[in-house]
């Protein structure tokens, strides 16, 4: 639990304030050289992955070649090989994180793996893929990532109702986030109603942060409101956290938590700064608070360890000014936030699908398998 976390590094201090620091990266090299274990000793308590991360990991090293050739000889195609490689890495990561999973009472110590991104708009195949993936991975501390498209809401509820821990990914708007949390509550109610053990069920809702500033800043400059640049992403994340506190305290959710269910915590993803003019820890130190997660790429983790100084909760700061920015100032500048976040969702899915396709091409090149 957060109270028992030692005060050794800035990551440990971050956890003491209620924000669990996770790493947004994975590569087989980290199991060979002990890097993941080192990160855990420094305060990392969870791991997330996505198709882009796996594509970069597998394409940049020969550590996967032997398994690729073995799977190819068994007749697996590129897509199946890619999924098997991902399952292998996530299983290893889950084993490294298993002590954290036990020590925190299953709050942390999770490793996340994403279903095939090409299924993001196909509810039936998504749910089939979730079931298959969860069955194939023996470790209990694994979350399956399902994109938060409108078509993904049904599979999210069904997976949770069947006892699968879920990391809902690619959330870009508060409206969609509310739908995701409602799906979590419905699924969890069904799971507990069927006699499920709340101790085995975990979930996070991954709210992508920095991409909003990347999309809005040029529009603000064009509208003559460059003074507002670099503020929208933190503002929306803070409003998302306020929505979480509101939804988690509603009677239906509170009743489930009273039975031992852990809340579906908001997870702040895409937290590296893309604009070099912004503080490197802008999307970490501005979003600290109880019952939250921040998943960071390695460079941001290193920056946090070297220069981070979390001393208080910040995610509930300036909520009203954040609301004023999003609901009044952006529309006054001619910016349709809903349209921008809808475009970001589509672009996010497309980016993951493109990375996955590139990975399969790399596998095909290495093993001569059909794509």
Q: What is the C-alpha separation between 69 and 362, in angstroms, rounded?
A: 13
Contact 19, 286 (CB under 8 A): no
Q: What is the C-alpha separation between 286 and 163, in angstroms, rounded?
A: 33
Residue 2 has pLDDT above 50, yes or no: no
Residue 287 has pLDDT above 70, yes or no: yes
Q: Which of 35, 107, 145, 366 is catalytic?
A: 145
Within 8 A by CB and 6+ apart from 266, the residues are 177, 204, 205, 207, 240, 241, 244, 291, 292, 293
Phi and psi of 121, rounded to 5°? -110, 20
Q: What is the pLDDT of residue 1?
A: 38
Q: What is the pLDDT of residues 162-173, one digit of tens each?
A: 999 999 999 999
Residue 4 has pLDDT above 50, yes or no: no
Residue 248 has pLDDT above 50, yes or no: yes
pLDDT, average across residues 350-365: 90
Q: What is the pLDDT of residues 321-341, one digit of tens each?
A: 999 999 999 999 999 999 999
Q: What is the C-alpha separation between 68 and 174, in angstroms, rounded?
A: 40
Q: Which residues pair with 203 in a beta bridge?
A: 166
- Structural domain boundaries in the chain: 7-23+106-347
Residue 156 has pLDDT above 70, yes or no: yes
Q: What is the C-alpha separation between 11 and 45, in angstroms, rounded?
A: 9
Q: Say whether 147 sits in a helix, a strand or coil.
A: strand
CATH 3.40.50.720 fits 7-23+106-347, yes or no: no
Q: What is the C-alpha separation between 23 and 39, in angstroms, rounded?
A: 8
Annotated active-site residue 145? The verdict is yes
pLDDT, average across residues 132-154: 96
Mean pLDDT of the chain: 95
Phi and psi of 12, rounded to 5°? -65, -40
Q: What is the pLDDT of residue 359?
A: 87
pLDDT, average across residues 225-241: 98
pLDDT, average across residues 336-348: 98
Q: What is the pLDDT of residues 40-53, one digit of tens each?
A: 999 999 999 988 89
Determine what percent of the chain is predicted with pLDDT higher than 70.
97
Q: What is the C-alpha separation between 105 and 98, in angstroms, rounded?
A: 11
Q: Which residues pair with 206 in a beta bridge?
A: 267
| Residues, the chain | 371
pLDDT, average across residues 169-192: 98
Q: What is the pLDDT of residues 78-129, one digit of tens each?
A: 989 999 999 999 999 999 999 999 999 999 999 999 999 999 999 999 999 9
Q: What is the pLDDT of residue 368?
A: 65
């Amino acid at each position: 639990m957060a109270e028992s976390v030692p005060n050794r590094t800035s990551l440990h201090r971050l956890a003491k304030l209620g924000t669990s620091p996770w790493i947004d990266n994975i590569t087989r090299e980290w199991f060979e050289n002990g890097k993941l274990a080192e990160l855990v000793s420094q305060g990392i308590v969870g791991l997330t992955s996505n198709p882009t991360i796996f594509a970069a990991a597998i394409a940049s090293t020969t550590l996967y070649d032997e398994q690729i050739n073995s799977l190819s000889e068994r007749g697996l195609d590129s897509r199946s090989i890619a999924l098997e490689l991902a399952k292998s890495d996530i299983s290893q990561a889950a084993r490294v994180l298993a002590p954290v999973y036990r020590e925190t009472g299953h709050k942390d110590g999770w490793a996340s793996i994403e279903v095939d991104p090409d299924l993001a708009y196909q509810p039936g195949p998504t749910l089939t893929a979730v079931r298959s993936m969860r069955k194939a991975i023996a470790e209990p501390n694994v979350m399956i990532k399902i994109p938060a498209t409108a078509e993904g809401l049904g599979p999210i509820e069904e997976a949770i109702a069947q006892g699968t821990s879920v990391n809902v990914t690619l959330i870009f708007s508060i409206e969609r986030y509310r739908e995701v949390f409602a799906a979590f509550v419905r699924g969890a109610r069904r799971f507990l109603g069927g006699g499920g053990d709340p101790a085995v069920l975990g979930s996070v809702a991954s709210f992508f942060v920095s991409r909003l500033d990347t999309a809005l800043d040029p529009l603000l400059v064009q509208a003559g409101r460059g003074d507002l640049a670099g503020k929208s992403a933190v503002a929306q994340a803070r409003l998302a956290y306020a929505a979480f506190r509101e939804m988690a305290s509603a009677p239906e959710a509170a009743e489930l938590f009273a039975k031992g269910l852990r809340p579906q915590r908001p997870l702040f993803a895409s937290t590296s700064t893309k604009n070099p003019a912004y503080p490197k820890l802008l999307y970490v130190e501005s979003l600290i608070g109880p019952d939250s997660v921040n998943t960071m790429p390695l460079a941001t983790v290193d920056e946090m360890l070297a220069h981070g100084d979390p001393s208080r909760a910040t995610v509930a700061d300036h909520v009203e000014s954040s609301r004023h920015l999003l609901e009044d100032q952006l529309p006054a500048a001619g910016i349709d936030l809903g349209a921008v976040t809808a475009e970001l969702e589509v672009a996010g899915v497309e980016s993951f699908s493109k990375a996955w396709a590139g990975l399969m091409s790399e596998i095909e090149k290495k093993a001569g398998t059909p794509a």
